[in-house]
A and B are shown apart, each in its own frame.
Chain A
Amino acid sequence: DAGVIQSPRHEVTEMGQEVTLRCKPISGHNSLFWYRQTMMRGLELLIYFNNNVPIDDSGMPEDRFSAKMPNASFSTLKIQPSEPRDSAVYFCASNIGLNTEAFFGQGTRLTVV
């Protein structure tokens, strides 16, 4: 398996624009996590899905952020409208069951100017 695949690797956008980050989890994994990493706040869990259903979205910063998982092999994280403070590295991770290790993608570095 190729591991968790995220796209794009880098995204530069202007304030106010819509940004969509994409993730393909490892085949057979039934949970998917979105994290945001910044120097100031470290690694923050934004949302996680189990069997394509959002279970905990308490980490989503505000209504500008939304996440979907239409099927077991694809998820998106959308920011609309984007703001400079959204600049961070966004990671997607997946795992196969409760209490198991999560496997991370390479991340998307988002810069909002």
Chain B
Amino acid sequence: GDSVTQMEGPVTLSEEACLTINCTYTATGYPSLFWYVQYPGEGLQLLLKATKADDKGSNKGFEATYRKETTSFHLEKGSVQVSDSAVYFCALNNNNDMRFGAGTRLTVKP
């Protein structure tokens, strides 16, 4: 079946550092890809999405590009802030079979 594998955490960075969280997927067909963010005590919120190959999703300084040739959707941000501290989930939706990675906890220190 379809699956998502993402970089294990936790990840700890200093403010203004660069962030990359790796995500690869296995799927048949043409899934849509997503990054979600979860803050403590809250549900998952959509951060960005891409629906086809070579699409770039972006939001709040975060970016990810749908790479079909490498089956990847890595999350990047050039300069992280303390407020970015959260758990990040990579996900795919393939005909409503929605799969999530294990999540990566990011802590940004001042």
> Is the pair A33, B98 in contact by a Cβ cutoff of 8 Å?
yes
Which residues on A sit within 8 Å (CB–CB) of B58?
none
Interface residues of A (CB under 8 A from B): 4, 31, 33, 42-43, 45, 48, 50, 55-56, 91, 93, 95, 98-107
What are 25 sample pairs from A and B whose C-beta atoms fall under 8 A apart?
A4-B43, A43-B89, A45-B98, A48-B96, A56-B97, A93-B44, A93-B98, A95-B93, A95-B96, A98-B93, A98-B96, A99-B30, A99-B31, A99-B51, A99-B93, A99-B94, A101-B32, A101-B34, A101-B46, A101-B49, A102-B98, A104-B43, A104-B44, A104-B45, A106-B42
**Least Cβ distance of B90 to chain A in Å?**
11
- Summarize A's interface: helix, strand, loop or mixed: strand
> Is the pair B103, A42 in contact by a Cβ cutoff of 8 Å?
yes
Compute how far the CA of A105 lies from the CA of B49 in the bound complex, rounded to whole angstroms. Answer: 19
Which residues on A sit within 8 Å (CB–CB) of B42?
106-107
- B42-62 CB contact bits vs A (8 Å, 1 = yes)? 111110010100000000000
Compute how far the CA of A101 lies from the CA of B45 in the bound complex, rounded to whole angstroms. Answer: 10
Compute how far the CA of A101 lies from the CA of B46 in the bound complex, rounded to whole angstroms. Answer: 7
Residues A106 and B96 in contact in the complex (CB < 8 Å), given A42-B102, A43-B103, A101-B49: no
Interface residues of B (CB under 8 A from A): 30-32, 34, 36, 42-46, 49, 51, 89, 93-100, 102-103
> Is the pair B102, A99 in contact by a Cβ cutoff of 8 Å?
no
A-B pairs, top 7 by smallest CB distance, nearest first, are: A104-B43, A99-B32, A104-B44, A43-B100, A42-B102, A101-B46, A99-B93
> Is the pair A55, B43 in contact by a Cβ cutoff of 8 Å?
no
Compute how far the CA of A93 lies from the CA of B43 in the bound complex, rounded to whole angstroms. Answer: 9
Which residues on A sit within 8 Å (CB–CB) of B31?
99
> Is the pair A98, B100 in contact by a Cβ cutoff of 8 Å?
no
**Least Cβ distance of A70 to chain B in Å?**
20
Which residues on A sit within 8 Å (CB–CB) of B45?
104
**Least Cβ distance of B48 to chain A in Å?**
10
